[in-house]
């Protein structure tokens, strides 16, 4: 199973948006999972989508701006509340977008 499948299958079973990206790409360290849970559901800095937050943290720093731009193009915004309320993009689509974009930047 590749990272994209791992992320989409683990979302809400048992992980949050940020946790699922971390777990799919980096592992299952309990302290890191707790950190990413705290930054899920719109609680990341600047109300950033948790899936995007995790993807950006796991990406090379040089790719972060490009990742944010590609994500905003797909989800409508980088901010969780705007993604949900204005653009009506489901969380599952955000997880998929973050996983696909991160995988393309780490390849």
Domain tally, the chain? 1
Dihedral pair phi/psi, residue 79, rounded to 5°: -95, 130
Instruction: From first to last of the 107 residues of the chain, give the pLDDT tens digit.
Output: 799 999 999 999 999 999 999 999 998 899 999 999 999 999 999 999 999 999 999 999 999 999 999 999 999 999 999 999 999 999 999 999 999 999 999 86
pTM of the model: 0.95
Dihedral pair phi/psi, residue 11, rounded to 5°: -65, 125
Give residue 47's pLDDT: 96
Exposed e or buried b per residue across 54-90, where buried means at least 16 C-beta atoms within 10 angstroms of its C-beta: bbbbbbeeebeeebbebbbebbbbbbbebbbeeeebe
Query: How many secondary structure helices (H) and strands (E) does the chain include?
Result: 7, 0
Structural domain that includes position 26: 3-106
Taken as a whole, the chain contains a residue count of 107
Give residue 1's pLDDT: 73
Give residue 79's pLDDT: 98
Please choose, from the candidates 107, 103, 105, 104, the residue with its C-alpha nearest in 3D space to the C-alpha of residue 25: 103
Beta bridge partners, 15, equal 11
């Amino acid at each position: 199973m590749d990272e994209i499948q791992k992320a989409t299958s683990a979302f809400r079973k048992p992980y949050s948006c940020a946790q699922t990206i971390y777990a799919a790409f980096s592992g299952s360290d309990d302290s890191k999972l707790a950190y990413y849970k705290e930054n899920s559901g719109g609680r990341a800095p600047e109300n950033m989508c948790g899936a995007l937050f995790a993807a950006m943290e796991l990406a090379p720093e040089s790719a972060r701006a490009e990742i944010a731009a590609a994500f905003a193009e797909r989800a409508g915004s980088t901010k969780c509340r705007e993604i949900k309320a204005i653009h009506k993009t489901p969380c599952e689509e955000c997880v998929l977008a973050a996983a696909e974009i991160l995988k393309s930047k780490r390849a």
